[in-house]
Amino acid sequence: MKTIFAKAILAASAVAAIGTAMVPAAASADELSNRIQNEQVRINQGLRSGQLTFGEFRATEGRLAEIAAQRRLDLCRHDGRLTFYDARQLNAELNGDSFHIFVDKHNAAVR
């Protein structure tokens, strides 16, 4: 009796874990969109404050535009959803871009 009950709880928790694991993958498209928008705000703020030179602005804008284009392409390829691997790749690229924005805003070059 205890083993049947334990197996039922284990099976229910496995189903719940799989269900919750699917949610972040579906929500990752919106999450990445928010990150892209936040980085765009950081870039514009850096240009307005003079922390970014025009060249740094153009380079950073270009990287961000490439990431946004890749996100749109990945969404089109998979019927409006990002696969786990696509989301992971885009997130890694956004992490790198975020680092570049930070470095560009805090280096000695000013407008």
pLDDT, tens digit, 9 for 90 and up, residues 73-100: 999 999 999 999 999 999 999 999 999 9
Q: 59 in a domain, yes or no?
A: yes
User: How deeply is 19 buried, as exposed, middle or buried, from its count of CB atoms within 10 A (0-12, 13-18, 19+)?
Assistant: exposed
**Is the residue at 64 inside a domain?**
yes
**65 is in which domain, residue-wise?**
27-105
Residue 40 lies in a domain: yes
- For the chain, how many structural domains are there in total? 1
Residue 3 lies in a domain: no
- Any domain includes 16: no
Q: pTM for the complete prediction? A: 0.71
Do the domain assignments include residue 19?
Answer: no
